[in-house]
């Protein structure tokens, strides 16, 4: 039977995330994979601005905090100077799909040999639940009190779909963390992305659909059901690009 242990890559402390927040699970999955690949000392965690900035303090290995949206640029600088290291960014959807759009698209298009882990909780968690580029139509936030209206704010942005039309990325996939199967698949996807990076294959992008019980105003269990009925039908999980499989 599998043992449930704290990954070596995480400090023996509480993460600081709200109860039921899937950021904690997503972070744990990344840490597990790094442990399994024996990369704890070789990994460099490029932390972004958002709730996941908490990882600055809970991560055991080398870590660098970056400006809001700029993690892919910071990772570019790091990886170009230290090509042997396992470099990854971990970014929220405001960070990656709004303020950091230029950086993510450009790093993906250059085919930078690092991995982006994108935690999509459809809101700006850290700043108190404002509308994000990924907020679902009709979803209520502190800046869309009557629900997101496509007439004035457009549509939720599908980052996997956008990135997979670029030539350079080698692996682009989306997973939902609201079911055990989704979690297991996500872990396999993260592992595959890291392995590709370690082989020098190029840019890899993993989107993880997560929740935000606090700002969605729901208890954690309800968020999982909400994801089933609302998030997943719009943000379809799956592999959007796998250069190996295309061959």
Partner 1 sequence: MEKRFMKGCEAIAEAAVRGGCRFFAGYPITPQNEIPEYLSWRLPEVGGAFVQGESEVASINMVYGAAATGKRALTSSSGPGISLKAEGISYLASAQLPAVIVNISRGGPGLGSIQPAQSDYLQATKALGHGGFRAMVFAPATLQEAVDLTYNAWDYAERYRNPVMILMDGCLGAIMEEVELPEMKNSNPEDIEDWCLDRIGDRTDSHMITPILPEPALELLNKGKAMQYKMWEMLDTKVEEFMLEDAEYVVVAYGIAARVAKEAILRLREEGYKVGMVRPITLYPFPKASLNNLDYTKVKGVIDIEMTIPAQMREDIELQVKDRCPVHEYGRSGGMLLDDEGVYEAIAEIVKGGE
Ligand X SMILES: Cc1ncc(C[n+]2csc(CCOP(=O)(O)OP(=O)(O)O)c2C)c(N)n1
- By CB under 6 A, name the binding residues for ligand X: 49-52, 68, 92-95, 121, 123-127, 132
If DSSP codes are grouped into helix, strand and coil, which group holds residue 215?
Answer: helix
User: How far out from the chain centre does Cα 223 lie?
Assistant: 18
> C-beta of 182: minimal distance to ligand X in Å?
18
Q: Tell me which of 25, 30, 75, 132 binds partner 1, using CB under 8 A.
A: 75
Residue 74's binding partner, choosing from partner 1, ligand X, none, with beta-carbon cut-off 5 to 8 A by kind? partner 1
- Give me the residues paired with residue 141 across strands: 144
CB of 129 to ligand X, least distance (A): 8
Q: Which ranges of 82-236 would DSSP assign to H, the alpha helix?
A: 93-94, 101-110, 150-153, 159-164, 180-198, 213-216, 220-226, 232-234
CB of 69 to ligand X, least distance (A): 7
Per rule CB under 8 A, is residue 206 in the interface with partner 1? no
Q: Which of 48, 76, 197, 204 binds partner 1 (CB under 8 A)?
A: 76
User: What's the first-to-final CA gap in the chain, in angstroms?
Assistant: 37
216-217-222-223 Cα dihedral, nearest 10 degrees? 20
Q: Contact between 10 and partner 1 (CB under 8 A)?
A: no
For residue 102, state whether it binds partner 1 (rule: CB under 8 A).
yes
Identify what 209 binds: partner 1, ligand X, none; CB under 5 to 8 Å per kind: none
């Amino acid at each position: 039977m599998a043992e449930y242990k704290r990954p070596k890559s995480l400090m023996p402390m509480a993460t600081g995330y709200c109860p039921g927040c899937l950021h904690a699970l997503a972070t744990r999955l990344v840490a597990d994979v790094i442990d399994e690949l024996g990369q704890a000392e070789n990994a460099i965690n490029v932390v972004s601005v958002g709730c996941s900035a908490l990882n600055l303090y809970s991560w055991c290995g080398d870590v660098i905090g970056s400006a809001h949206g700029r993690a892919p640029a910071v990772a570019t600088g790091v990886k170009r100077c230290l090509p042997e290291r396992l470099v990854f960014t971990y970014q929220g959807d405001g960070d990656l799909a709004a303020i950091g759009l230029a950086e993510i698209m450009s790093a993906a298009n250059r085919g930078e040999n690092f991995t982006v882990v994108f935690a999509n909780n459809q809101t700006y968690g850290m700043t108190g639940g404002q509308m994000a580029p990924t907020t679902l139509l009709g979803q209520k936030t502190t800046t869309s009190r009557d629900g997101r209206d496509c007439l004035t704010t457009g549509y939720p942005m599908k980052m996997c779909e956008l990135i997979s039309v670029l030539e350079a990325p080698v692996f682009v996939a989306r997973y939902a963390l609201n079911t055990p199967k989704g979690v297991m698949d996500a872990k396999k996807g993260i592992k595959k992305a890291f392995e590709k990076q370690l082989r020098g294959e190029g840019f890899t992008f993993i989107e993880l659909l997560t929740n935000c019980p606090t700002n969605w105003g729901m208890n954690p269990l309800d968020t999982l059901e909400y994801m089933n009925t609302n998030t997943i039908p719009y943000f379809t999980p799956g592999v959007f690009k796998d250069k190996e499989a295309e061959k």
